[in-house]
Amino acid sequence: MTKAQDNIISRRGLIKAGGGLIAAAPLLASTRPSEAQDSGFDVIVIGGGFAGCTAARELGNAGLKTLLLEARPILGGRTHTGEFNNHPTEFGGTWVHWCQPHVWAEMTRYGLGVKESAGAVPDKAAWMVDGKVRTEPANVYLEIFVAAMQKFCDVDGMGGMTVFPQAHAPFATEGWKQYDGMTCLDRIAQIDATEEEKAMLNSWVAICCHNDPALAGFVDMLKWYSLGDFNVGLLWDRCGHYKIKEGTAGLIKKLVEDGKPEVKLSTAVKKVTQNADAVFVTVENGETFKAKRVISTVPMNTLKNVEFDPPLMPAKIAASKEGHTGKGVKFYFTIDKNIGNYLASAPYPFPISMFWTEYAEGDHTTLVAFGAPTELDLLDPTVLTPHVNQFIPGAKVLDVAGFPWAEDEYIGGTWCFYRKGQFTNALAALQTEEGLVHFASADSANGWRGFIDGAIERGSHVAHTVINALNKA
């Protein structure tokens, strides 16, 4: 591990003091020649995020010789447990809930705990409408926002319940198809809502799609709403309130220790070739590994960068080239005021869609923020401060830290939110196995797609598909 990797700076989007998983990663890595390079592996898993590590655990526990290849120097995929201001900090995927069944089952299995994000239950809220900020007790904000979301999602006179009646079985009905050609902005324009309600909805969609709301497919918002049992308060609680006490890195470590795959870090896959009997995986240094099956967990936005022979089905490639919308920024910042449990929102194109308190200590507050892609360097305190001051006058930003997930060549984005048409054109295609190559990613989950839970769902499901296939062979 180089000094640069061990002490990554915060400016220009790089994690500051990201010690947690970076320190643990060498303990999980293989430093010896592959034990099965000549005879081959049963399964090669490409990608060491939650989908890949879950799949590798299931395969290993089934007695299969498994190789886990990860392009980056650490495991975790689009998650990373680091440190900011002497606090454990999640720079990528973060929140979990007991209504996210797959991740909760894993936390229960390994005895992991939860902790809260203070701002998920704010005392005070501020929101921007037509460039002006209104600040009120949080219950005032919530009353307006809940009413706006009910209008937004009630496409059927039943609160949207007929569109996805089974939140974890998206293809159970076809009611969603009539809305897949619509963006979230199209829907906002349709409803009878005040300018204040529209501004709140715009901000909500911007954080959910992590981009310009004009790119967000309305069907995905209806899908998220179903995961909250058609109640935005429950949805918020399930996707923004609770974190893993031991960190996402803690769960990744448990998965790998349990499954005991051979792990190779900093090993980018360049080509996957298959014939009727085997799959050959060639990595960046020219080394080739053989397996009976392969599970690719490469993210949707970067799948196009891996060569497959024979080529992947056109729908997969088209989905990867178009990409999902998640291209925005997530970062943490500390101000020189204690503002308690606070939440703020602003409609696109304001550079910060939403931010809220992570913790308040003494005369400082640290907040987590999300914004659509921007040319502004929001990780520069002098650039960020004027935008924060529109909500918190006189506050000075003292420090900022984040990670540029969208710029990472092996990840290419944050969480998955589909564009219009992608529910129809991409979801089933991304799930489809091709010969001896199988695909598992949070980007193609049936339930909490784009979340840690969705990654575990797909990793487990596809691993057992492979186990069953090999048992029958």
Per-residue model confidence (pLDDT) at position 118: 83
Contact between 415 and 10 under an 8 Å Cβ cutoff? The reply is no
Cα dist. 471→42, 60, 63, 281, 467 in Å? 11, 14, 11, 22, 6
Banded model confidence at residue 473, pLDDT cuts 50, 70, 90: confident
pLDDT digit string, tens, across residues 112-165: 999 998 888 999 999 999 999 999 999 999 999 999 999 999 999 999 999 999
Q: Which residue has the higher pLDDT, 365 or 11?
A: 365
CATH number of the domain within which 66 lies: 3.50.50.60
Q: What are the pLDDT digits (tens) for 42-57?
A: 999 999 999 999 999 9
Tell me the average pLDDT across 76-91: 97
- pTM comes to 0.94
Strand stretches in 328-415, DSSP E: 329-335, 342-345, 354-361, 364-371, 397-402
Residue 290: C-alpha distances to residues 66, 124, 294 (Å): 11, 57, 9
Among 52, 90, 98, CA closest to 71 = 52
Under 8 Å between Cβ of 163 and 226: yes
Looking at the fold, whether 53 and 168 belong to one and the same domain comes out as: no
Residue 37: what pLDDT?
A: 54
Share of the chain above pLDDT 90, in %: 91
Residue 460 and residue 379 share a domain: no
Q: What is the mean pLDDT of residues 229-237?
A: 97
Residue 438 inside a domain? The answer is yes
Q: Which of 377, 410, 443 is the last residue before a domain boundary? A: 410
Same domain as 229, residue 127 = yes
Contacts of 393 (CB under 8 A, 6+ apart): none
pLDDT exceeds 60 at position 15? no
pLDDT higher than 50, residue 397: yes
In a domain, 300, yes or no: yes
How far apart (Å, rounded) are the C-alpha atoms in residues 413 and 330?
A: 11
Flag whether 457 is in a domain: yes
* Inter-residue contact 285 to 271 (CB < 8 Å): no
Judge if 299 and 215 occupy the same domain.
no
Q: What is the pLDDT of residue 38?
A: 56
- What is the mean predicted confidence (pLDDT) over 216-234? 98
Q: CB neighbours of 375 closer than 8 A, spacing ≥ 6? A: none
Rounded CA separation 102/2 (Å): 35
Residue 97 included in any domain: no
DSSP label at residue 265? S
Q: Are residues 257 and 389 in the same domain?
A: no
Q: Cα 436–438–441 angle (5° rounding)?
A: 165
CATH of the domain at 186: 3.90.660.10
Q: In what order do the strands lie in the sheet with 114-116?
A: 95-96, 242-244, 114-116
Share of the chain above pLDDT 70, in %: 92
Looking at residue 119, its pLDDT comes to: 83
Q: Quote the CA–CA distance of 27 and 24 in Å, as a whole number.
A: 6
Same domain membership, residue 172 and residue 61: no
Quote the CA–CA distance of 286 and 154 in Å, as a whole number: 54
Give the residue carrying structure tokens 């020649």: 33
Q: Would you say residue 98 lies in a domain?
A: no
Give residue-wise pLDDT tens across range 153-203: 999 999 999 999 999 999 999 999 999 999 999 999 999 999 999 999 999
**What does DSSP say about strands 41-46 and 288-296: parallel, antiparallel, or unpaired?**
parallel
Q: Look at residue 422 and tell me whether its pLDDT is greater than 50.
A: yes
E strands present in 248-395: 262-264, 269-274, 279-283, 288-296, 307-309, 329-335, 342-345, 354-361, 364-371
Query: What range defines the domain where residue 463 resides?
Result: 3-79+247-313+432-472
Mean pLDDT of the region 17-36: 40
Cα–Cα nearest to 8, from 68, 82, 65? 82
pLDDT for residue 246 is more than 90: yes
Examine the pLDDT at 285 and tell me if it is beyond 80: yes
Name which of 21-25, 294-298, 460-464 the model is least confident about.
21-25
Does residue 28 register a pLDDT over 70?
Answer: no
pLDDT at 82 over 60: yes
